[in-house]
Amino acid sequence: MAIRSVRFLCLVLFIILLIFSVPATAKYLSYTYLGTVTGLDPTAETITIEATHEWGCVFDEGEVICNWGEIDPQEMVSGVPVTELYSRIGIGDTVEVTGLPDAKWNAIGLICDDPMYRYVITDLFGDLGHLPDPLDEGYTISATNYPDCDSCDDAVCTAEYSSVSIGRSDQERWTGDLYPGDAHTYYDPTDFSSVYVKFVSGQTSASLCKEHYIIGVPIESRFVVHVNPPYITPATTGSVIISSHPLGASIYLDQDYLGVTPLTKSGIESGVHSLLIEKEGYELWDSEVRVRGGRVASIIARLYPLYGLLDVRSVPSGAEILVDGIASGYTPEKIDVTPGVHVITLSKEGYYPADITTRTSAGRLSMIYKVLRPEGSYYAM
């Protein structure tokens, strides 16, 4: 009991420290998801994703463990933090997002698979430091905004400029001031990789210009970041990792059959390719995938069932089954049916036929169990 009390006290202290130690930019409700881009609307400035994983942390044996956890796929249509993302992110890309789903994301990161980390971010749009996975090629970027004190209200000020630092391998590589709209590209002479960072806009706390400060006011920054891999020979092909729920679905890339899920395929020409994933009994998954030279694109297709399943049983067994008047086997039997209302008729020699009306839904199992009444009997079972 004493050990449990100590652990509980540690958890409480950790939560309190977490609440009061996060920067002002994080002191509002935020969620972090990973998923596939299924829609882009530059006019409405929205992005649609099918989220398949959520970032979360647990307190285990005195240690905080954070990781991606799989969730039931959820479609989310939300505002974008920076419109420049439309030139870099396409349908079928894998992204991680943080902010308010179905409202507006604070940051969006284009990600690819990495041998050291599960994912790395190649392109970032929005707030720095709020997405859980690291930038590609080991780069880090931090920034401090400085206010234009003539622009303040009681809570926040518009940022006049941002002091930005680019690091790599635990070393600071470049530091400079960027005003809204300014950009800088750092080229690493060791391998000729590079990182581009643009300061779009930002805010700071009014406490920097005034004596009072309202706690909890969201303060945000908007950046655009692109990481370019080492320049050796420009890669003209990339790879894809394609999976599905459920597995075992056929894959067609540009109408050519590749195999069944899960599948990894390399040597695919850079560009946008059509992608079809199909499995008997499920809706066709039709989308696109953007392949980049030297990169790995990860796609997870959620397949939706076309039929419901009826599990029909009777006492005695061996009764003929008619589904809407169509012979469909003998009890016990499992039968695929279209969603909707169906009339099931059970008949067996020496017993009165029985009609059962049932409603089925796609992907759902419905059970029918009927005790047949012998002919000549006058009681209902």
Does 237-302 match 308-371 in CATH topology?
yes
pLDDT of residue 218: 52
Pick the CATH number of 237-302 from 1.10.3290.10, 3.40.50.1370, 2.60.40.10, 1.10.3720.10: 2.60.40.10
* pLDDT tens digits along 262-319: 999 888 988 899 999 999 889 899 988 888 887 888 888 888 888 888 899 999 989 9
Count Cβ atoms below 10 Å from residue 314 Cβ, excluding itself. Answer: 23
What letter would DSSP give residue 85? G
Count Cβ atoms below 10 Å from residue 139 Cβ, excluding itself. Answer: 22
Residue 246 preceded by cis peptide, ω within 30: yes
Q: Let me know: does 275 contact 333? Beta carbons within 8 Å.
A: no
DSSP 3-state of 349: coil
Count Cβ atoms below 10 Å from residue 307 Cβ, excluding itself. Answer: 17
Q: Let me know: does 159 contact 239? Beta carbons within 8 Å.
A: no
pLDDT of residue 60: 76
Our measurement of the distance from residue 286's CA atom to the centroid of its chain's CA atoms, rounded to an integer in Å, reads 18
SS (H, E, C) 288-307: EEEECCCCEEEEEEECCECC
Residue 333 has phi, psi (to 5 degrees) of: -150, 145
pLDDT of residue 37: 92
Alpha-carbon span 205 to 242, nearest angstrom: 45
Residue that the structure tokens 């067994």 belong to: 317
- In the chain, where the domains are located: 2-228, 237-302, 308-371
Question: Alpha helices of the chain — where are they, by DSSP H?
Answer: 2-21
Domain 308-371: give its CATH architecture.
Answer: Sandwich (2.60)
pLDDT of residue 7: 46
pLDDT of residue 119: 87
Amino acid making up residue 254: D
Q: Let me know: does 66 contact 14? Beta carbons within 8 Å.
A: no
pLDDT of residue 378: 57
Mean pLDDT for each 10-residue chunk of the chain (381 residues)? 43 41 46 93 94 88 85 93 92 91 92 75 93 93 91 86 93 94 92 93 83 54 92 74 90 93 89 92 89 84 88 91 90 89 91 90 87 74 43
Residue 255 has phi, psi (to 5 degrees) of: 70, 5
pLDDT of residue 10: 46
Alpha-carbon span 328 to 319, nearest angstrom: 11
Alpha-carbon span 126 to 113, nearest angstrom: 21
296-302 and 237-245 as β-strands: parallel, antiparallel, unpaired?
parallel
Residue that the structure tokens 């044996």 belong to: 61
pLDDT of residue 219: 75
- In sign, the C-alpha dihedral spanning 11, 15, 18, 21 is negative
